[in-house]
Protein backbone atom coordinates (compact mmCIF):
# COMPACT_ATOMS: atom_id res chain seq x y z
CA UNK A 1 0.00 0.00 0.00
CA UNK A 2 1.01 3.59 -0.55
CA UNK A 3 1.25 6.53 1.86
CA UNK A 4 -0.75 9.72 1.33
CA UNK A 5 -1.22 13.05 3.07
CA UNK A 6 -4.77 14.29 2.66
CA UNK A 7 -5.83 17.86 3.53
CA UNK A 8 -9.33 19.21 3.16
CA UNK A 9 -11.04 22.55 3.76
CA UNK A 10 -14.61 22.52 5.03
CA UNK A 11 -17.16 25.35 4.97
CA UNK A 12 -16.84 27.86 7.82
CA UNK A 13 -20.55 27.63 8.69
CA UNK A 14 -20.24 24.11 10.08
CA UNK A 15 -19.10 23.47 13.65
CA UNK A 16 -15.84 21.81 14.69
CA UNK A 17 -17.92 18.83 15.84
CA UNK A 18 -19.24 18.46 12.29
CA UNK A 19 -15.67 18.57 10.98
CA UNK A 20 -14.79 15.78 13.44
CA UNK A 21 -17.76 13.79 12.12
CA UNK A 22 -16.48 14.35 8.58
CA UNK A 23 -13.02 13.09 9.62
CA UNK A 24 -14.67 10.03 11.22
CA UNK A 25 -16.57 9.38 7.99
CA UNK A 26 -13.36 9.61 5.96
CA UNK A 27 -11.62 7.26 8.40
CA UNK A 28 -14.48 4.76 8.14
CA UNK A 29 -14.40 4.94 4.33
CA UNK A 30 -10.65 4.31 4.21
CA UNK A 31 -10.91 1.36 6.61
CA UNK A 32 -13.76 -0.17 4.60
CA UNK A 33 -11.58 -0.01 1.49
CA UNK A 34 -8.62 -1.79 3.11
CA UNK A 35 -6.52 1.11 4.38
CA UNK A 36 -5.84 2.87 7.63
CA UNK A 37 -5.56 6.43 8.93
CA UNK A 38 -2.45 6.82 11.07
CA UNK A 39 -2.79 10.47 12.11
CA UNK A 40 -5.47 13.15 12.04
CA UNK A 41 -5.00 16.82 12.85
CA UNK A 42 -7.63 19.53 13.06
CA UNK A 43 -5.98 22.85 12.27
CA UNK A 44 -9.01 24.95 13.10
CA UNK A 45 -10.86 27.75 11.36
CA UNK A 46 -8.24 29.61 9.31
CA UNK A 47 -8.21 32.46 6.81
CA UNK A 48 -8.10 31.45 3.16
CA UNK A 49 -5.53 32.95 0.80
CA UNK A 50 -8.30 33.65 -1.71
CA UNK A 51 -12.07 33.36 -1.61
CA UNK A 52 -13.67 30.00 -2.29
CA UNK A 53 -17.41 30.11 -2.99
CA UNK A 54 -17.55 33.60 -1.42
CA UNK A 55 -15.99 32.32 1.83
CA UNK A 56 -12.98 33.96 3.45
CA UNK A 57 -12.37 31.21 6.07
CA UNK A 58 -12.46 27.44 6.27
CA UNK A 59 -11.94 24.53 8.66
CA UNK A 60 -8.66 22.75 7.81
CA UNK A 61 -7.89 19.10 8.61
CA UNK A 62 -4.97 16.79 7.77
CA UNK A 63 -5.05 12.98 7.59
CA UNK A 64 -2.15 10.57 7.03
CA UNK A 65 -3.38 7.61 4.98
CA UNK A 66 -1.90 4.18 4.36
CA UNK A 67 -4.18 2.72 1.71
CA UNK A 68 -4.41 1.46 -1.87
CA UNK A 69 -4.97 3.88 -4.75
CA UNK A 70 -8.55 2.67 -5.25
CA UNK A 71 -9.39 3.83 -1.73
CA UNK A 72 -8.06 7.31 -2.50
CA UNK A 73 -10.10 7.50 -5.70
CA UNK A 74 -13.27 6.48 -3.86
CA UNK A 75 -12.53 8.94 -1.04
CA UNK A 76 -12.05 11.80 -3.51
CA UNK A 77 -15.24 10.83 -5.35
CA UNK A 78 -17.21 11.04 -2.10
CA UNK A 79 -15.64 14.36 -1.13
CA UNK A 80 -16.57 15.88 -4.50
CA UNK A 81 -20.21 15.09 -3.72
CA UNK A 82 -20.08 16.40 -0.14
CA UNK A 83 -21.34 20.01 0.06
CA UNK A 84 -19.45 20.73 3.28
CA UNK A 85 -16.04 20.23 1.64
CA UNK A 86 -14.81 23.23 -0.35
CA UNK A 87 -11.39 21.88 -1.40
CA UNK A 88 -9.20 18.84 -0.84
CA UNK A 89 -5.75 17.70 -1.86
CA UNK A 90 -4.21 14.25 -1.63
CA UNK A 91 -0.48 13.84 -2.13
CA UNK A 92 1.47 10.59 -2.28
CA UNK A 93 4.53 10.62 -0.01
CA UNK A 94 7.43 8.22 0.52
CA UNK A 95 6.92 7.95 4.29
CA UNK A 96 4.39 9.25 6.77
CA UNK A 97 5.58 11.85 9.26
CA UNK A 98 4.28 11.02 12.73
CA UNK A 99 5.45 14.31 14.26
CA UNK A 100 3.03 17.22 14.52
CA UNK A 101 2.70 19.20 11.32
CA UNK A 102 4.40 22.62 11.08
CA UNK A 103 0.99 24.25 11.58
CA UNK A 104 0.44 22.56 14.97
CA UNK A 105 4.10 22.88 15.98
CA UNK A 106 3.95 26.65 15.46
CA UNK A 107 0.69 26.87 17.44
CA UNK A 108 2.27 24.89 20.33
CA UNK A 109 5.35 27.15 20.34
CA UNK A 110 3.16 30.25 20.46
CA UNK A 111 1.09 28.83 23.32
CA UNK A 112 4.25 28.01 25.32
CA UNK A 113 5.58 31.55 24.76
CA UNK A 114 2.26 33.03 25.82
CA UNK A 115 2.19 30.86 28.95
CA UNK A 116 5.75 31.91 29.87
CA UNK A 117 4.87 35.58 29.42
CA UNK A 118 1.73 35.26 31.52
CA UNK A 119 3.60 33.31 34.19
CA UNK A 120 6.32 35.95 34.33
CA UNK A 121 3.77 38.75 34.57
CA UNK A 122 2.01 36.92 37.39
CA UNK A 123 5.29 36.48 39.31
CA UNK A 124 6.13 40.18 39.01
CA UNK A 125 2.79 41.10 40.56
CA UNK A 126 3.06 38.46 43.29
CA UNK A 127 5.36 40.11 45.79
CA UNK A 128 8.55 38.14 46.46
CA UNK A 129 11.59 39.21 44.53
CA UNK A 130 14.21 36.73 43.34
CA UNK A 131 13.14 34.03 45.76
CA UNK A 132 13.25 36.19 48.90
CA UNK A 133 10.59 35.44 51.44
CA UNK A 134 8.96 38.01 53.68
Decide which of 3.10.580.10, 3.30.70.260, 3.30.70.60, 2.10.50.10 is the CATH code for 2-98: 3.30.70.60
| Cβ atoms 23, 63 nearer than 8 A | yes
CA dist 78 and 22 (Å) reads: 11
Q: State the number of CA atoms in the 13 A half-sphere of 84 facing the CB.
A: 18
pLDDT band (50, 70, 90) for residue 120: low
CA dist 78 and 87 (Å) reads: 12
Pairing of strands 55-67, 2-10: antiparallel
pLDDT for 13-69, tens place per residue? 999 999 999 999 999 999 999 999 999 999 999 999 999 999 999 999 999 999 999
In this prediction the pTM is 0.78
Amino acid sequence: MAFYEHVFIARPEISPQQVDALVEDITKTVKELGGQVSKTEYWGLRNLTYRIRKNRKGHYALLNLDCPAQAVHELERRLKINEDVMRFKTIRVEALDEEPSPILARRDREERRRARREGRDGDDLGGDFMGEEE
